[in-house]
A = this chain, B = another copy of it.
Amino acid sequence: MALKTAKQYYKSLEGLHPVAYILGEKVENVHEHPLIKHMTAAVARTFDLAQDPEGRQHLVTKSDLTGEDVSRFVKFYTSPDDLIAKVRMLKFLAQRIGGCYMRCTGMDAISSVGIELYNCDQKHGTKYWPRFLDFVKILQKDDLVLFSGVTDVKGDRALRPSQQKDPDMYLRVISKDNKGIVVRGAKIHQTGSLCAHWGMVVPTREMRESDKDYAVAFAFPTDAEGVVHVYGRGTLEARAMEECDLGNVEFSKFAPMVIFKDVFVPWDKVFLCGEYEYCGDMVRNFGNYHRHSHGGCKCGVGDVLIGAAATAAEYNGLVDNKGSINVSHINNKLAEMLKVTEAIYGCSIAASVESTRTPSGIYNVDPVLSNTSKLYEGKELAEVIRMMIEIAGGMVADVPSDKDFAHPEIGPLLKKYLKGADSVSTEDRVRIFRLIEKLAFESRDIVSNIHGAGSPETHRMTVLRNANIEEKKKYAKKLAGIKETK
């Protein structure tokens, strides 16, 4: 089959029965829940677009493992071109979804884990790499959705995993036998976990020998026994619960905490177990790939931010008779917005060009450039959003509800008084303000800009550590006429 339709995707979810809690209630048919279904729709859209001629070019590729057409979301990055194609695909999708569609976490995870499993097998004689290829083949064959579980809850930030008072603050192996292992812990900010068929746990940091029990990677079905998904509350629940004033009329995001209550994992899905020296590189690979992913998707979202701002200006009446915005400070702001979003994109493309081959055949992105991209997202994208609000105007703050518009007495008054440019209906004008509100105030999106794929301080340190400062000092000393003594 290799490529699912959206319909097949929805069908496949019916067979899953994850344990999920949302706002204090245990939820059955969770994929239909108003707080979940808008992200499921976003994932479904990625299946739809793979069937579309333009989308297919971005989303479908050939498997290195089987030679078949497969989704790019389940393929290893085996060339710089793969990495470029990924960035472009994510931008393409984000322009059409206006937010997160979660499949990149699994895509980034397989390459980041894969690189190290190959290395581990070479050194320790383990058999993780072929076992892992079998798993990836399953993903490819059934066009499955995988999410990655990286971020542990971490407890006291000043302590290592094995130093925590409660040993479960990082996910760990609590027992093993000849069938498999049992794990306990919790992963947080698990974007779209309930939209996926499988999850894959990746260690969240480097580990030392004393942290050996925490050096574990494995795959699990999202409804495996003992796995509990707890919905993390965002800012705009009321809209989705009432199904009105949505902003983005189709798509949204959620990010549960996933708790592992002593979950059993059979050995054929265990991809690391105790070889602690690979944890650091695994998560660093993942971080670098995922910051690179953001370069594509956040530029796509940026296009929506820019488009929304420009539309609001048009609807406010600030265009000339050719439809071009004729207010110079708005044009200036649009250019500044583009400057940031294009830098985010450009640095990810460049990180692909400057990628390097690892022994596994998988290509690693340039860490300096991919982290530079993320740093612009982490800081300057907030200013892009602020400029969008500045262009749109105060109405973003407090538009009355669709329910008010539907009211027989005040509805007509609102339509009268919230009218902008003559050629635009009040309803459309309100729609664009709602979209802007959603883009600016959906907490999970905004916080992801800052903390997604690691926090800015991590990106800064990654840039610094991977830049060759000593070489740069040599250039400076040479030009200054300083003779190196060593």
Cβ contact within 8 Å between A443 and B397: yes
Nearest CB in chain B: distance from A237 CB, A: 5
Provide the residues of chain B in CB contact with A404, threshold 8 Å. Answer: 21, 23-24, 230-231
How many monomers of this chain does the complex have?
4
> Is A395 in the interface zone, CB < 8 Å from B?
yes
> Is A155 in the interface zone, CB < 8 Å from B?
yes
Cβ contact within 8 Å between B233 and A398: yes
Which of these, B254, B307, B447, contacts A472 with CB under 8 Å? B307
Q: List 30 A-B contacts (CB under 8 A).
A: A21-B407, A24-B404, A84-B353, A98-B475, A151-B394, A169-B419, A188-B398, A189-B394, A228-B413, A249-B480, A257-B398, A259-B410, A261-B413, A303-B471, A307-B476, A339-B376, A342-B372, A343-B347, A346-B351, A347-B347, A349-B350, A350-B350, A389-B447, A389-B451, A390-B456, A393-B455, A397-B444, A398-B443, A398-B447, A435-B476
Closest B residue to A336 using CB positions? B460
Among all A-B residue pairs, the 8 with the closest Cβ atoms: A232-B398, A24-B403, A307-B472, A397-B447, A307-B476, A346-B350, A238-B238, A346-B347
Which of these, B21, B256, B317, B482, contacts A156 with CB under 8 Å? B317
Cβ contact within 8 Å between A311 and B400: no
> Is A11 in the interface zone, CB < 8 Å from B?
no
Cβ contact within 8 Å between A255 and B397: yes
In the bound complex, what is the Cα–Cα distance between A444 and B336 (angstroms)? 25
> Is A123 in the interface zone, CB < 8 Å from B?
no
> Is A109 in the interface zone, CB < 8 Å from B?
no
> Is A1 in the interface zone, CB < 8 Å from B?
no
> Is A414 in the interface zone, CB < 8 Å from B?
yes
**Chain A stretch 373-423: residues in CB contact (< 8 A) with chain B:** 373, 375-376, 378-379, 382-383, 386, 389-390, 393-404, 406-407, 409-410, 413-414, 416-422
Cβ contact within 8 Å between B346 and A369: yes
Interface size on A, residues (CB 8 A): 152
Binds B, one of A51-59, A135-143, A240-248: A240-248
> Is A473 in the interface zone, CB < 8 Å from B?
yes
Cβ contact within 8 Å between A417 and B168: yes
**Given A350-B350, A397-B232, A464-B335, CB of A480 within 8 Å of CB of B431:** yes
